[in-house]
Amino acid sequence: MIQALLFDFDGLIIDTESAIIEAWKKAYELCQIEFPEDRFNAIVGHADVPFDPWADFKDRDDLPMPVANFKKHINQSVLKEVEAKPILPGILKTIETAKALKLPLGVASNSNHDWVDSHLKRLGLFDEFDAIRCRDDVKKPKPSPDVYLSLLDFFKLEGENALAFEDSYTGLTAAKRAGLNCVAIPGPSTLSGDFSCADLKIQSLEEEPLPSLLKKLTP
């Protein structure tokens, strides 16, 4: 029986991933540099992939502004793009239904608390969750199961009694390594991932009401 719901953040609650990629794409275009879309898509959901986009800019002498100002410009662009993104379809209804069913809620993110907490507060969702675990809470980020194991420990549950919602192969791998049930909900930047080990794959939480989802996952 499912006794807790655990949500990824980036790409699952809001599509920060597409927003970040779009902001960087505009930066590359501003500098007339070819945008390495494949490399950006490859790092979605990862915290340990060695790709630093600044390597494409740091040695150039034709930037449209001084390096410090350009970094600030990109950071502001990322924030602007992210803040323009809505909460993804079905998230609010799923939270509402979970509350009615008295199911505890958690967040398991590969981002740090500064990022996750600030956006959850901005969206009015921070207090909806009983526990939030981020990469700065554990030794190893996803695809290690550490963030999920930390939440299982908090809720005093076995993996089989919790359900994770993930949008990336990396997150799905972390959830399954922790023994969780996992519903995959790929986003625009993660569609090409391997979700074959997911218990269920859907397009959005709007497509599948929570009671129906739980019924499908209950033997």
Name the token pair of 109: 């993110």
- Distance (Å, whole) CA 181 – CA 160: 6
Chain centre distance of CA 144: 15
Name the token pair of 30: 């501003």
Q: What is the 3-state secondary structure (H, E, C) of 11-72?
A: CCCECHHHHHHHHHHHHHHHCCCCCCHHHHHHCCCCCCCCCCHHHHCCCCCCCCCCHHHHHH
Q: Is 61 a catalytic residue?
A: no
Burial (CB count within 10 angstroms: exposed 0-12, middle 13-18, buried 19+), residue 131: middle
* Residue in the block written with tokens 């019924």: 215
Tell which residue, 188, 170, 146, has the closest CA to residue 16: 188
* 74 touches 27 (CB < 8 A): yes
- Distance (Å, whole) CA 100 – CA 59: 55
Q: Is 10 a catalytic residue?
A: yes
Q: Which of 10, 15, 146, 167 is catalytic?
A: 10
φ/ψ (deg, to 5) at 162: -125, 150
The catalytic site residues sit at 8, 10
